[in-house]
Amino acid sequence: MSKKTKIEFTPEEQDAIEKYLANPDYLMVEFAQYFENLDQLRANGEIPTKYVSFEVLKGFLAGLSSGVSNERLNDALPATLGKDTVSIPLSVLRDLVGAWDHYCNSPQPNLAKSFGFGGFKHERSLLTKVEQIKTERYYARRIFELRLCAKEAGIKLTTQKAYEEVAEKDKVSIETIKRAYRKHRAHWEAILSKHGLPTK
């Protein structure tokens, strides 16, 4: 059983934690974080720019369908994508996103088949790699979230105990969680620090 301890926060950390835990604008936070992650992968040469572009279109369609304004969606995108914008018919956006979804979810992805034109040949390895990174980062994020919430409640939660809780909830091995945390720890520490949140 976790042991209660008295833990002190700086006023800045306390304020950041309260805002983080009470943020009602979850969709926009997730939207911005997802595209920041994708842009980082693009900058590191792990995924092509075209992949990010199609995911942006997909994100915009989901956001607009949920009532989020075009301006707010643009503001949430990484600055590296630029701020110049254009307006297009929603039907065009739906068509492109529909083709992209078909490609991503096909057992044997083929751009020519999904988009209705030839001359391209892609393998599924890219999609598999992106999904693996997303899953690993999710596991690592859960470790930070559990420990942050425990600290806020005055509970000392060890990293090992957090491994066990995430592994049990997501039905994976503790080693899987541990590898994901070690691999993506620096990524989440940088994000937490950016928002003024404690990383330990």
Q: Residue 142 belongs to what domain range? A: 124-200
Q: Is residue 152 part of a domain?
A: yes
Q: Is residue 175 part of a domain?
A: yes
Q: Is residue 185 part of a domain?
A: yes
* Count of the separate structural domains present in the chain: 1
Most confident of 37-41, 99-103, 176-180: 176-180
Q: Is residue 188 part of a domain?
A: yes
Q: Is 80 exceeded by the pLDDT of residue 61? A: yes
Q: Is residue 50 part of a domain?
A: no
* Three-state secondary-structure class, residue 4: strand
Q: Is residue 45 part of a domain?
A: no
Give the burial string for 119-144 (b: 16+ CB within 10 Å, else e).
eeeeeeeebeebeebeebbebbbbbb
What is the rounded CA–CA span in Å between residue 135 and residue 115? 27
Q: Is residue 82 part of a domain?
A: no
Reported pTM: 0.59
Q: Is residue 134 part of a domain?
A: yes
The larger pLDDT score, comparing residue 159 to residue 24, is at 159
